[in-house]
Chain A
């Protein structure tokens, strides 16, 4: 028997390999393979919340994954991860998209704004955020970042929407608490139509 392979070393190595797999490191190691000619470059620059971020992105990676697990922007929530709930909504060039159903590589050269990018440099909340607080719009709050991003995008193109227009604009964001009317109150307040 190899004298270097002690019982202690053997157990340590087993524990280490188990830890590597369970921590998800195996996922990244397995995906770090060489690239086919013509396929995308993994190291990309992204414009997130007005800042340029250099990040290593897998070819098949979704924007929600990049934002949350590589850039630490966990304000963007992953609910269903299938484009069926809206909690991962971000704006790309001022248009709302489900970040769980967007390839990160497809937003190169575009402006991505997440919930973290809304507050002003002084730290003051965005008017939509403040209006949602004033109207007690969120209940549990999980869908709120998405609801806010949809509202921000709406008010950019339509600063004084009717309640029906707001309902349409927010229709791609589920709220399982059912606080829809409270969110609509928030939209009305943010657009200066409630005093």
Chain B
């Protein structure tokens, strides 16, 4: 497969008003491609594996930038860079779970360009799919990652349905744990989708990882006050410290009163196509202290029901150990 240095000829639109961007997105539909930081865009286009006719560069729309306080929590503009999310004083003070997650994405330069919306809307990293093969996700009728010889160490252990790719997002699990609301705007109006329903698996829609459709733009992410200042734990396990996607990541928020966990929200990344909420663990640790004994009690619970592929069974103990670390940190 040729890997060209230049992108093929295409149109570029640089709207400065959100209304203009929405009109363009509606008019161009599947021929257009929204660009925020562009870090998941240019590789696809340089490789000729995605061929939009036009790019819609959203970076000129100032209203999509910045972090503001709202009645219930904060609102983060879609184009806010990951560096800004990681270093913003309000996010660091109240939602350090999210700032930690944003600070471990890829590399410094990618965080300087990459946006929060782009991080949750990015496509999966399965290399067979990225290579341009006609797999299920690309509209074909085969999964190249789920064969006896396939290299699937990084792939899913839960809820695979034909496609076995996992969510690559580091901020996704943190946003699901914080019960964020995703604000999606189109010319028809606005809809607000909870983060856990924003991501969809291949059983629901095999060609998209989110509920975003042509003509729609993810314009903001709202984080409710519910988990502000809670006890947080975030860890991303990857082969490299920089420039790598998670093998498994965990994002947890806990409220502790009188020495016991009264509420918790624990989510794993990179184990299935969407961030996976560990509801059984949350129920089991309810009313118990955050300590070694509780960790021992729920040992093995996180990975229950996993169906590993040939090379990724290691993700099961990894998940369980991350839960232990979360409870004993």
Complex interface: chain B residues within 8 A of A81 (CB): 5, 46
**How far apart sit A59 and B57, CA to CA, in the bound complex (Å)?**
11
Chain B positions 3-53 with a Cβ under 8 Å from a chain A Cβ: 5-14, 24, 35, 38-39, 42-43, 45-46
Of B93-101, B105-113, B162-170, B212-220, the segment with at least 4 beta carbons within 8 Å of chain A is B105-113
260-308 of chain B: CB within 8 A of chain A: none
Mark each residue of chain B from 61 to 90: 1 if its CB lies under 8 Å from any CB of chain A, else 0.
000000000000000000000010000000
- In the complex, which residues 32-60 of chain A have their Cβ closer than 8 Å to any Cβ of chain B? 33, 35-36, 38-40, 58-60
Please name all residues of chain A whose beta carbon is closer than 8 Å to the beta carbon of B9 when the two chains form the complex: 30-31, 33, 58-60
Chain A residues with CB under 8 Å of B83's CB are 95
Structural contact, B55 and A60, CB atoms closer than 8 A:
yes
Flag if A83 contacts B39 (CB, 8 Å). yes
Residue pair A101, B38 in contact (C-beta under 8 Å): yes
Contacts of B113 in A (CB 8 A): 97-98, 101-102
A82 adjacent to B11 (CB under 8 Å): no
Contact A101 B243 (CB under 8 A): no
Closest to B37 in A: A101
Residue among A40, A83, A106, A171 having the largest count of chain B Cβ atoms under 10 Å: A83
Interface size bracket, A side: 35 or more
In the complex, B204 has a CB within 8 A of chain A = no
Tell me whether A62 is interfacial, beta carbon within 8 Å: yes
Q: Is the CB of B6 within 8 A of A171?
A: no
Known: A78-B5, A172-B242. A39 touches B54 (CB 8 A): yes
**B311: interface (CB < 8 Å):** no
Q: Nearest Cβ distance between residue B15 and chain A, in whole angstroms?
A: 8
Q: Is A155 an interface residue (CB 8 A)?
A: no
Closest CB in chain A relative to B175 CB, distance in Å = 23
Q: Closest approach, in angstroms, between the C-beta of A124 and any C-beta of chain B?
A: 27
B59 within 8 A of A: yes
CB–CB A60/B107 < 8 A: no
Which residue of the partner chain, among B11, B13, B45, B109, contacts A96 with CB atoms under 8 Å? B109
Task: Report the Cα distance A105→B11, complex, angstroms.
Answer: 12
Inside 8 A of A134's CB, which chain B residues have their CB?
Answer: none
**A83-B42, A84-B243 given as contacts; is B11 within 8 A of A97 (CB)?**
no
In contact, B55 and A169 (Cβ under 8 angstroms): no
A179 at the interface (CB under 8 A from B): no
* Set B12, B43, B109, B243: member contacting A59, Cβ < 8 A: B12
**B241 within 8 Å of A (CB atoms):** yes
Residue of B nearest to A88 (CB): B109
A60 x B108 contact (CB < 8 A): no
- Shortest beta-carbon distance from B191 to chain A in Å: 27
Q: How far is the CA of A59 from the CA of B6 in the complex (A)?
A: 11
| Contact bitstring A58-70, B, C-beta under 8 A = 1, else 0 | 1111100100000
Contacts of A89 in B (CB 8 A): 109
- Residues B14 and A40 in contact, CB atoms below 8 Å apart: yes
CB contact list, A87-123 vs B, under 8 A: 89, 95-98, 100-103, 105-106
**CB under 8 Å from chain A, chain B span 126-143:** none
Contact between chains at A60 and B5 (CB < 8 Å): no
The residue of chain A having its C-beta at the shortest distance from the C-beta of B23 within the complex is A38
Is B107 in contact with A86, judged by CB distance below 8 angstroms? Answer: yes
Is the C-beta of A168 less than 8 angstroms from some C-beta in chain B?
yes
Residues of B within 8 A of A106 (CB): 14, 57, 59
User: Contact: A105 with B241, CB < 8 Å?
Assistant: no
Q: Which residue of B lies closest to A95 (CB)?
A: B112
Contact of B43 among A60, A83, A86 (CB under 8 A): A83
**Closest beta carbon of chain B to A78's beta carbon, Å:** 7
Q: Mark A167-184, 1 if CB is under 8 A from B, else 0.
A: 011011000000000000
Decide if A27 is an interface residue (CB 8 Å cutoff): yes
Assuming A98-B109, A172-B110, is B10 touching A60 (CB within 8 A)?
A: yes
Q: Which 3 A-B pairs have the closest CB atoms?
A: A172-B107, A59-B12, A60-B7
B positions within 8 Å CB-CB of A: 5-14, 24, 35, 38-39, 42-43, 45-46, 54-55, 57, 59, 83, 106-110, 112-113, 241-243
Q: List 16 A-B contacts (CB under 8 A).
A: A33-B9, A38-B24, A59-B12, A59-B55, A60-B8, A65-B5, A82-B42, A84-B243, A86-B109, A96-B112, A98-B110, A98-B113, A101-B110, A106-B14, A150-B109, A171-B243
16 additional contacts (CB under 8 A) given A36-B11, A83-B43, A171-B242:
A27-B6, A40-B13, A40-B14, A60-B8, A60-B10, A60-B55, A86-B107, A86-B109, A95-B112, A97-B109, A105-B57, A106-B57, A171-B108, A172-B108, A172-B110, A172-B243
Residues of A in contact with B (beta carbons under 8 Å apart): 27, 30-31, 33, 35-36, 38-40, 58-62, 65, 78, 81-84, 86, 89, 95-98, 100-103, 105-106, 150, 168-169, 171-172
